[in-house]
Amino acid sequence: MPSNKDIVLEFTHSGLEKWDAAVVNRVMKPDVIQHNPQATGGRQGLLEMFKVLPEPMQYQVWRVLEDGDLVVVHGTVKLIGQTFAVFDVYRLENRQIAEHWDSLQPLPSAPNPSGRSMLDGPTTISNLDQTEANKALIQRFYQQIFVGGHFDQIGAYFDGNTYLQHNPGVADGLSSLLNASAAAAKAGKGLKVDTVSRILGEGNFVYVRSGGEFGGQRVVFSDLYRIQNGKIAEHWDVIQPVPAESPNLNGML
């Protein structure tokens, strides 16, 4: 019997990449709830989108997490000539996709200051027995640091300055993160998180979907953390501005 991961990967590779309507009809509920701000609701909306795109998308999967009825896919998608880093989140009911959220950010042509891309790094899931502890760690991290604003306590969540960073504009090291955050705040464009909608995890990886402000605009944050020995060791993210209008009323969170 295929797992929820298997179902989502079949949808990704056969439904999205090959435009296989039979697969879409089989693995997606007709009334699927769509949170993509550019998409209409329902399965038929996706099938109609296939008809207007000039070519199928190319989706490279890097990481897949499964947490109960939710699956997170981290990868790149090439669409209409542009490549994006992407997080897709799916909720399944009775072996069908019932709800979908995503976040996209254009993939830069150059690596970040530490030579990392938005996708490279470890992909192997380990320490499955630590899933709940790692999710709880990240929940405390967000509530205390980002929502609570107690940045003086941030060091408790890291192993010294050790921190591998995949954000395209920030270098490795906790000190680099703090310096970048301080510079953005001084310019009046600091990062603010006011809503945490999902914390999902599998083993040593934890995904967070949240909303707030960055660069002076309303955004949705998708963040992926790798936990090692009870500390945050590595970070990937995608930041997407929230558009003023959307063909659906479901919101991005």
Is 0.75 topped by the overall pTM?
Answer: yes
Q: Where along the chain do its domains lie?
A: 4-106, 128-241
If 0-12 CB within 10 Å is exposed, 13-18 middle and 19+ buried, where does residue 80 land?
exposed
Answer whether 125's CB lies under 8 Å from 202's CB: yes
Q: Is residue 89 helix, strand or coil?
A: strand
| Closest by Cα among 113, 103, 98 to 164 | 113
Q: Which of 26-30, 54-58, 147-151, 171-175 has the lowest mean pLDDT?
A: 54-58
pLDDT in tens, 1-40: 899 999 999 999 999 999 999 999 999 999 999 999 988 8
Look at phi and psi of residue 108 and say left if phi exceeds 0, alpha if psi is from -120 to 50, else beta: beta
The H or E element spanning position 34 is: strand 28-34
Cβ distance 210 to 76 under 8 Å? no
pLDDT at 208 over 80: yes
Which CATH entry fits the domain spanning 128-241: 3.40.1190.10, 3.10.450.50, 3.50.50.60, 3.40.640.10? 3.10.450.50
The CATH number for 4-106, chosen from 3.40.50.300, 3.10.450.50, 3.40.640.10, 2.30.30.40, is 3.10.450.50
Query: Rounded to an integer, what distance in angstroms lies between the CA atom of residue 82 and that of residue 67?
Result: 30
Do 4-106 and 128-241 have matching folds?
A: yes
Long-range contacts of 68-74 (CB under 8 A, 24+ apart): 69/4, 69/93, 70/4, 70/198, 70/200, 71/4, 71/5, 71/7, 71/8, 72/200, 72/207, 72/224, 73/8, 73/9, 73/12, 74/119, 74/207, 74/224, 74/236
